[in-house]
Amino acid sequence: MTTKPRRIRKAVFPVAGLGTRFLPATKAMPKEMLTVVDRPVIQHVVDEARAAGIEHFVFVTGRNKGVIEDHFDKQFELERTLAERGKEKELDSLRRDLPGAGQTSFTRQQSANGLGHAVWCARDLVGNEPFALLLPDMLHFSERPCLADMMDAYSETGGNLIGVKAVPEDQTQNYGIVGVEDPSDQVSKIHTMVEKPKRGTAPSNLHITGRYILQPEIFGLLEKQKPGAGNEIQLTDAMLGLLEQSEQTFHAVRFDGDLYDCGSKLGFLMANVAYGLTRDGLGDEFREELKSYIDREGLTG
Ligand code: UTP
């Protein structure tokens, strides 16, 4: 008899990075609060997690990140003022966006030692249960949220899952890459993984997109993990340890939508275009403005 995999209730959001690619914007403001249209990047990702059924949101923060905690709290003065001015629509939308009382937790990474270290900092808040992990600067743009697809796959496979997407072969050295049994499958068993492989050595062109479902045993490996690429404690190295040293399975789930790396300036600008063009009450006008800009500047070639 096969047992049903344990339910995923919690998601971890590592938001303690320094955001050096976005200086000076990130000198005093977290990069996760940069806005794509009118929502901070972190709100887009929390929306994705809520739509996938997540009930508790764990943020791993650092210095200068206090505003993220404020963002996910009630603003009584603002709400009173909106109510007094009859701005019901804005009020409703603020209330809708907010996780409920007691559904958020915050811990500090203290020093930015890498993604693996940030995830390890969430160990006590996650406890002994499987959890989702979402990298807030990676926006997954699709009709159905990426994490929801991964939850469906998890109910079949159990174990650990990693969201992946193909990149051109000559770019694999910039990413975490997985090797799978059948690259053409939507969900395929992973047999190896490597963070930023040297040119020509990648096991495939499938890169890790920043969405994971992980079993709590990962914390034990992260605790002992030595620094890897970039002298940072790498999550990919600990996941490889779990794959090699335990009975646990890892599956790759292909993401077919569009991916925007909002930690890079180009990705961030393109995310604003994509989300702006599909936003109700804005998209049509934005499209017209963009078209006339492109014509005026002669950008159509
Ligand atoms: P990145 O490497 O993209 O973020 O990490 P960064 O280090 O802030 O960016 P740059 O290169 O300096 O511009 C991916 C995610 O992991 C978090 C980041 O906040 C980001 O959301 N992170 C990274 C941590 O929480 N702690 C770390 O030590 C590193």
Res 148: pLDDT: 97
Range 26-54 average pLDDT: 96
Give CA–CA dist 147/213, Å, rounded: 9
Helix (H, G, I), strand (E, B) or coil at 104: strand
pLDDT digits over 206-249, tens only?
999 999 999 999 999 999 999 998 899 999 999 999 999 989 99
| Nearest CA, atom 27, ligand 1 | 114
Q: How far apart are CA 183 and CA 237, in angstroms?
A: 21
Nearest Cα residue to atom 25 of ligand 1: 16
Q: What residue owns the CA closest to ligand 1's atom 14? A: 135
Å from CA of 114 to ligand 1 middle = 7
Query: How far, in Å, is the centroid of ligand 1 from the Cα of 289?
Result: 34
The band of 2, judged by pLDDT with boundaries at 50, 70 and 90, is: low
Q: Are 61 and 108 in contact (CB under 8 A)?
A: yes
Average pLDDT rounded to a whole number, residues 40-52: 97
Which residue segments constitute the domains of the chain, with CATH numbers given? 10-263 (3.90.550.10), 264-301 (no CATH)
